[in-house]
Each structure stands twice: as structure tokens, then as C-alpha cells.
Chain A
């Protein structure tokens, strides 16, 4: 388990080596849809940046560009050389594979030896708390468990940058809050650079070191909030007056963004 990026263990927020940078990114689709307009920001190692914005404003497009699945029509992306984890809104597990075999998939695609693959998958499954479910098939799992399997699949490659595209959007609130806490535990342990997309302002503020608000299409950054709470964060944080104040600010910015 060697982390691809060079930082010492227990990276602090003070570590400012940029892992992912967007420089004047614009995206116009061939059909003329302008999805993104002049978007610039960076995500540093140990930072958890969340983007909230109205649906259809170009958030998924931003992640596709960051991962190389799509090419920006303008601007450049700079990304850390380490591997990138990408968690989609759907768990996208292969239904004909068991949890273990699904978690091994990416290691398999990268040609890791069988033994190493198995060991890493075992670790990842334990990290997301799915031990005991490794031999189940996706259809035997609840939505939350599927999402955790999907997360484990990316963890196997020890990514230095993690992209999350509304991963918990389809889950009920209780499951979502649990998974938020699990994700924060992983983040606290690994300190990958995270770029997270969500519809939920509470989720955004709870998870992040920084929240960006995007406008309706064409998506531009119209709000930028530093979230000062220390990690580890406890669930009680959600009832802290300072927390409410911040969600209020983000919410106001988002309402402005809808206009």
C-alpha cells in the first residue's frame, strides 16, 4: 500500500501540492450546448473540495474532463501523476461478478498479479466495512452496500485523487449520513485529494474543506466557501450553529445561482 503521491504520512491541510487543477476550462458540446464557462480552481493534496450546483450545470462534465473521459473545448487540466479514483452515481458493479471479484476489477485491468490483487481487494473490502459480503453478488446487496463496494473498487488502486459524482444521491438519508462518515474516515486516513459533487448542501459542508457553488448552465463558479471545521468531524457537527450558518451561506449562493 504505497501511496502514489510523495507526501509524508498524516498530511495536514498545510500541504499545498496541487493534485488537480482546472485552468480556464470551457466546454461546448458539438450540438452547441455550453456546459462550462471559464472554470478555474485547484484541488490540493489533503483537500476535500465539493461542487454544488443546479442539475444540468455541467458538474458531471467537469469530472469527465478531470478524468480524461472527455476533452475540454478550451482550457487545460493538470493532474497528479498518481492514479485517479472515480466513483459514479450508479455503483456500476458488474452483476455477474461477486463483490470480491468486482473490487479486483481495476487491479485486473491494470495487470496486477493475482496474489497482490486478492490482498488489496481484501483490504479495500475491509476498509469499507463489507467483510462477510465478499462472495455476494450485487443483486443481493442493498444500495448502500453496492456504493461501498464501488468505493472499495477504486480504493484498490490507492488513488491520490478521488472524483465523486453524486455517489450517495440515490440513497436514503440515514444510509447517506453513515456513508459520509465512512468516507471521512477513509479521507482522514488516506488524505487523497477529493473532488466531490452533490446536490445536498449539508453533505457538502459536512464533508469538505472547501465548497464551490456553480451557476446554472453555462456553469461558472459563483461561490467559494472555506469550511474551517477540523477532522475528524462528528455527526453532531450537523447541529452546530456555525455549521448552520455556513449551510445558510451556501444555500443563499445556490439560490442566486439558480437565477
Chain B
């Protein structure tokens, strides 16, 4: 039997070509030129809208929405202002990254536990939903009593705000494993951990990455909100926003807002890039 078995190579048959041609041969340059124009156009439109809005404001109220070029000259190009704003942005970045990291580790654990134990899912899920709906402002005194004013207290706010998408999307992704694939693993006696590692988690990757992208943005918001509650400590963007509003330094305030948007964009792009890298060979969501 052995001899026969090894050379049963069947004549190679020509079949319909693969659905997706390999990404390598895709003309990259042509694509980037045609797809990049919306970026500057969108930017110009927003800039135009800003000028229009400022123009339509009564001159004595114009300080509320200064001209974009004033924001650039008195914010971005002012060495002193930009120095403190950059330092604050760095602090906020560290806070957001820490909060997001904790959300991912904690949320991942909660998600896996919910997948493993139905009772745990039933027990936890309602509170996840509730947590997401909690008005952070209302519980800030509580947080203060429990965690003080420091880095950790701020990061708790950040975690609460960025947590929800992680366990819920992870759970959804793991639960949507194809029935037939589970049968296959069961048929060959795979343990629960094997199914988790080789089936459920890889299957959940696309939804995990979607969650990362959402939570990354939320963690920036969370960090700033946290800083605004707990004004003490080294000033991050949150404290700066409050400070500049009080001092009526709106050019600097808008500089801070733009910096926080940029921060959000950077983390979003990072996770988008990571997602495409990991999923590009097999998932529809990955662009070539």
C-alpha cells in the first residue's frame, strides 16, 4: 500500500483562476495618486468652513473662534506656547497609552472568560453595558475618594471610557466561529485551550482590530477627560484646555484641540496599519 500511496499524484487540472490576485502585483503607485486627493480637499473644505464661521461671528465674540492663521501663529509657531503644549501632549499620550493597554489586557481577559463561561457572560455583560453608560462626571467624586488625584485616578477614567469595545467585540468575534470548524476540532479531540488558540482567537482578530481602533480614539478622549477632572499633577492637554479657557487664550486652546485630534488620528492610523498587516492575506476588511 505504501508504494502506491506515495505516487498517486493526480494530474494537475487547470481551474478557474483564484478570486483575488496576489497583492504583490497590484500597481501601488497608481492607486495612491487616485486615492489621496480626498485628503487635501477635505482639509481645505474644513479650513474654509472655519474661516466662514469666524467671519460670521460678531467681532467682539471672535475670540471664541479665532482665525486659523492666528491659531497657527500664536499657537503652533509660538515657541513658548508650543513648548508647553507639546510637553502636555506627551503626558496625555502616556496616559492614553497606559489606559488603552489596561483596557486591552483587562478587556481581553473579560472577553475570554465570557467566552469560556456562559454564566460569567450573563453575570458581567449587563454591567459592561451599564459601565459604558455611566456619566463619568457624576461619579468623579467617588473616583477621587477611591483613587486620589494622581496618574492612576486619571487612567481609571480613561479605562472606563475606552473599555467597552474590547471585551464585546472580542466575544462577538470568538462566537462567530464557523460551526463546521468547531466540529472539525472536536472530531480530533482538541482541548478548549487549543480551540481558543487555533480557532477562536484568530477568528476574532478582525473584530479585535476594529475594537482597538475604536478604543484607541476613546482612550485619548478618556485621558483628556480624566485630566480635566483631576487638575492636579503635571499638566496634560486636559489641564491646558481648562487653563487656556480661563485665561481666554483661545488660540492656544485650539492648538491643544488640534493636537488631541492628531493624537487620535495617529493611534487610529497605527492600529489600521497593524490590522492590514496582520489580516491582509485572508480577511476582506484588509485593503491591498
Contact = CB atoms under 8 A, between A and B. Distances in A.
A128 B15 contact: no
A190 B6 CA distance: 10
Contacts of B188: 106, 109-110
A86 B3 CA distance: 24
Interface of B: 1-6, 8-13, 15-20, 22, 178, 180-181, 183-190, 194, 198-199, 202-203, 205, 281-283
Contacts of A191: 1
A145 B184 CA distance: 19
Interface in A112-160: 123, 126-129, 131-132, 136-142, 144-145, 158
Nearest to A144: B15
Interface stretch (A1-9, A25-33, A36-44, A211-219): A1-9
Contacts of B18: 136, 140-142, 145
B184 A1 contact: no
6 contacts: A1-B2, A139-B20, A140-B18, A142-B18, A189-B8, A191-B1
A129 B205 CA distance: 31
Contact of A69 (B1, B186, B190): B186
A109 B283 CA distance: 24
B15 A145 contact: yes
Given A69-B187, A90-B180, A94-B202, A139 B282 contact: yes
Contacts of B282: 95-96, 137-139
Contacts of B19: 139-142
Contact of A3 (B1, B6, B183, B187): B1
A190 B5 contact: yes
B242 to A, nearest CB: 47
B1 A68 contact: no
Contacts of A64: 183
B19 to A, nearest CB: 6
A226 interface: no
B288 to A, nearest CB: 12
Contacts of A88: 180, 183-184
Contact of A131 (B6, B12, B185): B12
B179 to A, nearest CB: 9
Contacts of A145: 15, 18
A182 B10 contact: yes
Contacts of B199: 94
Contact of B189 (A105, A109, A129): A109
B81 to A, nearest CB: 48
Given A109-B194, A129-B10, 14 more contacts: A3-B2, A69-B183, A69-B187, A92-B184, A94-B198, A95-B283, A96-B203, A139-B281, A140-B18, A141-B18, A144-B15, A158-B5, A182-B10, A182-B13
A12 interface: no
A158 B6 CA distance: 12
Contacts of A181: 10
A244 interface: no
Contacts of B281: 96, 137, 139
Ranked nearest first, the 10 interchain pairs of A and B with the lowest CB-CB distance are A9-B1, A140-B18, A129-B10, A189-B8, A95-B282, A92-B180, A109-B188, A142-B16, A182-B10, A189-B4
Contacts of B184: 86, 88, 92, 106
A185 B10 contact: yes
A123 B6 contact: yes
Contact of B3 (A9, A126, A137, A182): A9
B1 A190 contact: yes
